[in-house]
Amino acid sequence: MPAGVTLTAVRASLTTASSSGVVTVDINEGGASVLSTKLTIDAGEKTSTTAVTPAVISDASLADDAEITIDIDTAGTGAKGLKLVLIGTRT
C-alpha cells in the first residue's frame, strides 16, 4: 500500500464472464484475509456488484507499506480480464 487506507468497499470486474462457476477472489494484507465473505462474480456476470452474495470487509484498516496480495480461489470457466478495485479513504 502506498499509504494507510480505511477500506470502505471492494469491487471486481471481468472482460469475459465465466460460462459456468463463480469467480471467487480473496484480498490479503500481510498474508491475512481482509474479507470475512470473499468477493465473487457470478457465472454469466461481469461484475461483483450484482453478486448474489456480496463481499464483507472484516479488516478495513490497511496499513501504509503493507503487502497486499490477491488470491483467485475459484476461476470459473473461461473467465478473463479480472480487474480489482479497492475503495477507501486515506488515513
Residue 44 φ/ψ, nearest 5 degrees: 80, -5
Beta bridge partners of 70: 27
In sequence order, what DSSP letters do the residues of 22-51 get, joined into one string? Answer: -EEEEEEETTEESEEE-EEE-TT-SBGGG-
Q: What is the pLDDT of residues 27-74, one digit of tens each?
A: 999 999 999 999 999 999 999 999 999 999 999 999 999 999 999 999
Q: Model pTM greater than 0.85?
A: yes
